[in-house]
């Protein structure tokens, strides 16, 4: 097993980047060698001897950084958003047929959120009913959350593949909105209350029993174990990988 | 303390009545002396020496039964629905100024559901946010449930009285229904899944903390302790009483 | 895919067997052709043309039944307890090198319980902490439950394999029993309360987040979907199989 | 209603005091006029015109501060520990028969924790079973928590007063500790896991139903609303008061 030791952080002065900086500093097997933010020269990564970078920056900046990394054989663990098929194809081109560097891009670095989604999809074929309740602080602008939508889509796909029809629901009278939002046939409910941080519950129901998978994120720092797991995995996995589930070996 | 011992059950052959019959038979301090259903003569209550009846019948039948009980000084514990102000006034007239009998009418005989509603209303003034999630089997026709609507109204009234404004909610983008139904300003979510019976959760949220009150009803028989509590209370409380909370001494 | 259609039930007059009888009768793709109990002749299975049996009987009876089934090429789905290595070896001998019949033995036919155990073990390597709370009716004689013990052992094995040390626990002062029972280094808590049926929660915790997997069994019938899944799977899987997880294709 | 406006904070440089400072500064109806810590002269409270103080300091220091406040007619809201009957009697002596100042001492300023305890005790007479699960971070030294012990004692007292006997429990075989710690006949379970902050669940169970009251404290700041409520209440309540429940008007 090859292991990255020297790490550079891009976006180091942002809220998320600052958490990454702290997590890398606290990890015994990693060393923080560069902390860059907008305006800093990427060449510093080379002079500092960075073997890998963590990039939580901006869609406008990330492609330039990744091209630089690919050219210099620096691995990248990327939480920046905005990757579409075109960008991914471009990345693959830069990495080439015999990539010297690995790039891991993940929309969600929370290990718990990824496990919740995978378990929900794995259990879905065995249950007649499934419903999602996500709970967040009241300053969140979107409802349902992106994680809830993604979970619903994964669960709906697993149900289709297993040949399951629509969930049973005899509701014939009621108030608008009571049964939540419909995402690919899965009912999703969004609770917003002061004191909450970020929580989600997937409830699967069959005759006489329910199975509930719940993820509670109480702290912004909860994504850092996923980033560290990515750093420890990337040197052995050259080329482009999308999704933390590959790091968690859940396939 | 006066105590009822000899009990008659009206609607004894219905599903609910059958549970009452069983609960009265199993109670050491009570004796089942009459089991009547549609078509049976109310006079049997008198000949059997019933001191109290339990009535889970039909709105069409209940007023005749209660007039008979009032005339014969028989106490009544009533779970039948359909009582409006007019019916309650009629009942008060029958009982008179110096009532010899007590009549307890309650829309909900589940002690847990009543406690949940009272606690939610008592806590509401201290919390910026409150939201309700109710969960039932998928053959339920209405959403939200009657208990959830009633809880929302009680909570909303307690907030108004405490001078609280609307709950905080920054949702600006999303899918229809995600934020649930609006009952008097309180968001209510209805989950329907196979395996569930009847459950409700009231979530109150303030800075850095949440308080959750949850009631799980796993069995049809869960209302019988409330009926027995009513039977043990009624002899000392002549006249008309509406609501199990008075029996539970929560006022 | 081969499919069993004609099913015999052994132990048909027991509580569990009666649920199996009902479930087979209600399944569109299965036909109940024989209902046997202690004292009935196994030959009836042959004359009725049973292709498979379900056996929820007694350790004293089950081996005779399984030998009969093996000799007559009848598949068996078995929930009876008491199988040790010796019995399993004997069974393998009866089935032979080219088995015409399949035998599925499972200590737990609840799909939800099996999924909970598998998900808990799959998640365990990613979490510093793990703890189990199981909740049952107060007439249960053993604490912790067999499922909780088995879950703890699976989780502990997964932690060992991932190189994790003991769970963090700074408790230095307290009352006996507060931290629960120790099963292979995993703390297990047993709650007993009227109104509960059979429930279990596995709580996994890491920096800033927790993942909770909860199974609620509200009804004795909750094991029947697992039995039916076994019946639909057995014809394609000759020989001996132990554990419902193989049917659920979770390996 | 009389209202305090000008507030001094004692112990202002401690972790808890710093949260109080911030909360007072953020409250529209309050003004922070003095921030003192060990070594600072109490006379500053007088010169700054403080009408009330908040004291989260040390048992060694608090009595001197409270004598000073009593002598100068300054109200006090006190979260410092270590008050026994002797200290309370001394305080009452200082305040005199016609107290000009109010002193509120509370072992717990979390509104949610206080509500949970009160609701649990109010519900206890109606339930055959009750059990407590408390969940905290793994660096906590004591198990069970002080709040859990106090809750168990309140619940046990309510059961005794209602004439209830021991909780039903048929456990006859098992592992040491599985059934938790015994506090006045109530089983208490302590879960410790990374990612948790401070949580407690009281589960009450009767025939076919359970009522669960759960408090989740996700942030150190969750006690500040209780302190502010005390400050808004104290001017109208001269003399000594012990317990936040009086402020919450739950008696």
Q: Which chain D residue's Cα is nearest to B211?
A: D215
Backbone angles phi, psi at C39, to 5 degrees: 100, -25
Q: Determine the 3-state secondary structure of A18 from DSSP.
A: helix
- The whole-angstrom separation of Cα D176 and Cα D191 is 16
Query: Cβ atoms within 10 A of the Cβ of A200, count?
Result: 25
* C165 among annotated binding-site residues: no
Low-confidence ranges of chain C (pLDDT < 70): 1, 250-251
Please give the structure tokens belonging to residue C180: 């629960």
Please give the structure tokens belonging to residue C243: 């554990």
Q: Is B72 a catalytic residue?
A: no
pLDDT of residue B220: 78
- Is C93 part of a structural domain of the chain? yes
Residue of C58, C72, C140, C199 marked active site:
C140
Provide CB contacts within 8 A for C85, sequence distance 6+: none
Region B222-245: mean pLDDT is 94
* A224 among annotated binding-site residues: no
* C106 among annotated binding-site residues: yes
In Å, how far is A133's CA from the nearest CA of chain B? 9
Please give the structure tokens belonging to residue C3: 């499919």
User: What is the H or E stretch that residue B9 is in?
Assistant: strand B6-10
pLDDT of residue D87: 96
Backbone angles phi, psi at D74, to 5 degrees: -100, 125
> Which of C87, C35, C25, C75 is closest to C57 using CA atoms?
C35
Number of domains in chain A: 2
In Å, how far is D38's CA from the nearest CA of chain C? 30
Cross-chain residue pair A216–D195, CB shorter than 8 Å: yes
Tokens 């990039």, residue located: A55
- Is C149 part of a structural domain of the chain? yes
* C12 among annotated binding-site residues: yes
Tokens 């998640």, residue located: C123
Same domain, C90 and C76: yes
State pLDDT tens for residues A27-48. Answer: 999 999 999 999 999 999 999 9
Taking one residue from B and the other from C, the number of pairs with CB-CB distance under 8 angstroms is 13
CB A194 within 8 A of CB A205: no
Q: Determine the 3-state secondary structure of A219 from DSSP.
A: coil
Task: Read off the pLDDT band of A3 (50, 70, 90).
Answer: confident
Cross-chain residue pair C222–B195, CB shorter than 8 Å: yes
- CATH classification at residue C93: 3.40.50.720
For D206, which of B116, B214, B225 is closest by C-beta distance?
B225
Chain A residues with CB under 8 Å of D216 CB are 195
- Is D1 part of a structural domain of the chain? no
* C80 among annotated binding-site residues: yes
pLDDT of residue D251: 55
Please give the structure tokens belonging to residue A4: 């990255």
- The whole-angstrom separation of Cα C72 and Cα A149 is 52
In Å, how far is D204's CA from the nearest CA of chain C? 7
Torsion-angle region of A249 (φ positive above 0: left; ψ -120 to 50: alpha; else: beta)? left
SS3 for chain D is CCCCCEEEEECCCCHHHHHHHHHHHHCCCCEEEEEECCCCCCHHHHHCCCCEEEECCCHHHHHHHHHHHHHCCCEEEECCCCCCHHHHHHHHHHHCCCCCCEEEECCCCCHHHHHHHHHHHHHHHHCCEEEEEEEECCCCCEECCHHHHHHHHHHHHHHHHCCCCCCCCCCCEECCCCCCEEECCEEEEEEECCCCCEEEEEEEEECCEEEEEEEEECCHHHHHHHHHHHHHHHCCCCEEEECHHHCCCCC
Region B85-104: mean pLDDT is 95
Angle at A14 between CA A12 and CA A18, to 5 degrees: 55
Task: Read off the pLDDT band of A234 (50, 70, 90).
Answer: very high
Same domain, A115 and A84: no
- CATH classification at residue D136: 3.30.360.10
- Is A46 part of a structural domain of the chain? yes
The model carries a pTM of 0.90
For B197, which of C196, C218, C222 is closest by C-beta distance?
C218
Backbone angles phi, psi at A249, to 5 degrees: 60, 45
Chain C residues with CB under 8 Å of B195 CB are 216, 218-219, 222
Chains that touch D (3 or more CB pairs under 8 A): A, B, C
- Is B1 part of a structural domain of the chain? no
CB B180 within 8 A of CB A178: yes
pLDDT of residue A1: 64
Chain C residues with CB under 8 Å of B222 CB are 195
Same domain, B17 and B46: yes
Cross-chain residue pair A212–C208, CB shorter than 8 Å: no
pLDDT of residue D249: 77
CB A134 within 8 A of CB A197: no
State pLDDT tens for residues A86-109. Answer: 999 999 999 999 899 999 999 889
State pLDDT tens for residues C178-217. Answer: 999 999 999 999 999 999 999 999 999 998 999 999 999 9
Give the number of C-alpha atoms closer than 13 A to the C-alpha of residue B202, restricted to the C-beta side. Answer: 31
pLDDT of residue C110: 92
Burial class (CB in 10 A: 0-12, 13-18, 19+), A165: exposed
Same domain, B225 and B213: no
> Which of A83, D243, A140 is closest to B171 using CA atoms?
A140
State pLDDT tens for residues A208-222. Answer: 999 999 999 998 788
Measured CA distances, D113 to A148, A216, C59, D23, D172 (Å): 31, 20, 51, 19, 34
- The whole-angstrom separation of Cα C56 and Cα D85 is 64
Chain C residues with CB under 8 Å of B216 CB are 195
Same domain, C193 and C228: no
User: What is the H or E stretch that residue A168 is in?
Assistant: none
* D106 among annotated binding-site residues: yes
Look up residue A131 and give its DSSP letter.
Answer: E
Look up residue A74 and give its DSSP letter.
Answer: -
Same domain, A203 and A189: yes
Q: Which chain B residue's Cα is nearest to D210?
A: B216
pLDDT of residue A249: 77
Cross-chain residue pair B112–D210, CB shorter than 8 Å: yes
Cross-chain residue pair B119–D119, CB shorter than 8 Å: yes
The ipTM value here is: 0.87
Look up residue B238 and give its DSSP letter.
Answer: -
- Is C1 part of a structural domain of the chain? no
Measured CA distances, D185 to D142, D156, D213 (Å): 19, 7, 19
Same domain, D116 and D178: yes
Query: Cβ atoms within 10 A of the Cβ of D230, count?
Result: 28
- The whole-angstrom separation of Cα B144 and Cα B142 is 6
In Å, how far is A134's CA from the nearest CA of chain B? 10
Chain C residues with CB under 8 Å of D194 CB are 127-129, 168, 205-207
- Is C70 part of a structural domain of the chain? yes
Region B7-15: mean pLDDT is 95
- Is A1 part of a structural domain of the chain? no
For helices B15-26 and B224-234, give the axis angle rounded to 10 degrees. 60
- The whole-angstrom separation of Cα C197 and Cα C216 is 8
Residue span of the structural domain in which D39 resides: 6-109+221-247
Whether pLDDT at B221 is above 90: no
Cross-chain residue pair C175–D183, CB shorter than 8 Å: yes
Query: Cβ atoms within 10 A of the Cβ of D59, count?
Result: 12
CB A69 within 8 A of CB A77: no
pLDDT of residue C221: 84
* B173 among annotated binding-site residues: no
Cross-chain residue pair D168–C129, CB shorter than 8 Å: no
pLDDT of residue A251: 55
CB C205 within 8 A of CB A214: no
* B14 among annotated binding-site residues: yes
Chain D residues with CB under 8 Å of B224 CB are 207
Positive or negative: CA dihedral A57, A58, A59, A60: negative
Cross-chain residue pair A215–C209, CB shorter than 8 Å: yes
The residues of A carrying an active-site annotation are 136, 140
Look up residue B13 and give its DSSP letter.
Answer: T
Same domain, A105 and A132: no
pLDDT of residue C251: 55
Taking one residue from A and the other from D, the number of pairs with CB-CB distance under 8 angstroms is 13
In Å, how far is C215's CA from the nearest CA of chain A? 5
Q: Determine the 3-state secondary structure of A147 from DSSP.
A: helix
Q: Which chain C residue's Cα is nearest to A250?
A: C122
> Which of B11, B179, B155 is closest to B79 using CA atoms?
B11
Chains that touch A (3 or more CB pairs under 8 A): B, C, D
Same domain, D96 and D65: yes
Over its C-alpha atoms, chain C yields an Rg (Å, rounded) of: 20
Same domain, D121 and D44: no
Cross-chain residue pair B126–D225, CB shorter than 8 Å: yes
In Å, how far is A122's CA from the nearest CA of chain B? 18
Task: Read off the pLDDT band of B1 (50, 70, 90).
Answer: low
The residues of D carrying an active-site annotation are 136, 140
DSSP track, B107-152: S---HHHHHHHHHHHHHGGG-SEEEEEEEE-TT--EES-HHHHHHH
Cross-chain residue pair D206–B217, CB shorter than 8 Å: no
pLDDT of residue D25: 97
- The whole-angstrom separation of Cα D146 and Cα B91 is 51
Chain A residues with CB under 8 Å of D222 CB are 195
User: What is the full per-residue pLDDT of chain D (251 aa) written as tens digits?
Assistant: 678 999 999 999 999 999 999 999 999 999 999 999 999 999 999 999 999 999 999 999 999 999 999 999 999 999 998 899 999 999 999 999 989 999 999 988 999 999 999 999 999 999 999 999 999 999 999 999 999 999 999 999 999 999 999 999 999 999 999 999 999 999 999 999 999 999 999 999 998 999 999 999 998 788 999 999 999 999 999 999 999 999 987 65
b/e sequence B109-130, b meaning 16+ C-beta within 10 Å = bbbbbbbbbbbbbbbbbbbbbb
Q: Which chain B residue's Cα is nearest to A149?
A: B175
Same domain, C62 and C89: yes
pLDDT of residue D210: 97
In Å, how far is C174's CA from the nearest CA of chain B? 26
For D195, which of A195, A196, A218 is closest by C-beta distance?
A218
Tokens 């090429």, residue located: C73
Give the number of C-alpha atoms closer than 13 A to the C-alpha of residue C69, restricted to the C-beta side. Answer: 30
pLDDT of residue B151: 97
Question: Cα A219 to chain center, whole Å?
Answer: 16
Please give the structure tokens belonging to residue A10: 């891009």
Cross-chain residue pair B218–C222, CB shorter than 8 Å: no
Query: Mean pLDDT of all residues in chain C?
Result: 95
Same domain, A50 and A68: yes
Q: Which chain C residue's Cα is nearest to D197?
A: C208
- The whole-angstrom separation of Cα C231 and Cα C109 is 12
CB B7 within 8 A of CB B31: yes
State pLDDT tens for residues D62-118. Answer: 999 999 999 999 999 999 988 999 999 999 999 999 899 999 999 889 999 999 999
Chain D residues with CB under 8 Å of C183 CB are 175
* B80 among annotated binding-site residues: yes
* A14 among annotated binding-site residues: yes
Pairing of strands A198-206, A209-217: antiparallel
Cross-chain residue pair B170–A205, CB shorter than 8 Å: no
For D197, which of A196, A218, A222 is closest by C-beta distance?
A218
Chain B residues with CB under 8 Å of D217 CB are 208-209
Cross-chain residue pair B195–A210, CB shorter than 8 Å: yes
SS3 for chain C is CCCCCEEEEECCCCHHHHHHHHHHHHCCCCEEEEEECCCCCCHHHHHCCCCEEEECCCHHHHHHHHHHHHHHCCEEEECCCCCCHHHHHHHHHHHCCCCCCEEEECCCCCHHHHHHHHHHHHHHHHCCEEEEEEEECCCCCEECCHHHHHHHHHHHHHHHHCCCCCCCCCCCEECCCCCCEEECCEEEEEEECCCCCEEEEEEEEECCEEEEEEEEECCHHHHHHHHHHHHHHHCCCCEEEECHHHCCCCC
Tell which of A115, A195, A215 to mutate to test the D interface (max D CBs under 10 Å).
A195
Query: Mean pLDDT of all residues in chain A?
Result: 95
């Amino acid at each position: 097993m090859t292991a990255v030791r020297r790490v550079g952080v891009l976006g180091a002065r942002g809220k998320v980047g600052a958490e990454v900086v702290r997590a890398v500093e606290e990890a015994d097997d990693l060393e923080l060698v560069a902390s860059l933010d907008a305006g800093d020269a990427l060449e510093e990564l080379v002079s500092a001897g960075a073997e890998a970078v963590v990039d939580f920056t901006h869609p406008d900046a990330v492609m330039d950084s990744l091209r630089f990394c690919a050219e210099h054989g620096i691995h990248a663990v990327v939480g920046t958003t905005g990757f579409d098929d075109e960008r991914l194809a471009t990345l693959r081109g830069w990495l080439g047929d015999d990539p010297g560097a690995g790039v891991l891009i993940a929309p969600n670095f929370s290990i718990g959120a990824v496990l919740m989604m995978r378990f929900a999809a794995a259990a879905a074929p065995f249950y007649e009913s499934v419903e999602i309740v996500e709970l967040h602080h009241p300053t969140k602008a979107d409802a349902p959350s992106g994680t809830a939508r993604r979970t619903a889509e994964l669960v709906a796909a697993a149900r289709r593949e297993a040949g399951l029809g629509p969930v049973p629901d005899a509701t014939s009278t009621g108030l608008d909105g009571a049964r939540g939002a419909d995402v690919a046939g899965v009912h999703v409910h969004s609770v917003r209350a002061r004191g909450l941080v970020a929580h989600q519950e997937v409830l699967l129901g069959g005759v006489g029993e329910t199975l509930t998978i719940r993820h509670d994120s109480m702290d912004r720092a909860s994504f850092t174990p996923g980033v560290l797991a990515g750093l420890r995995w990337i040197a052995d996995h050259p080329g482009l990988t999308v999704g933390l589930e590959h790091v968690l070996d859940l396939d």
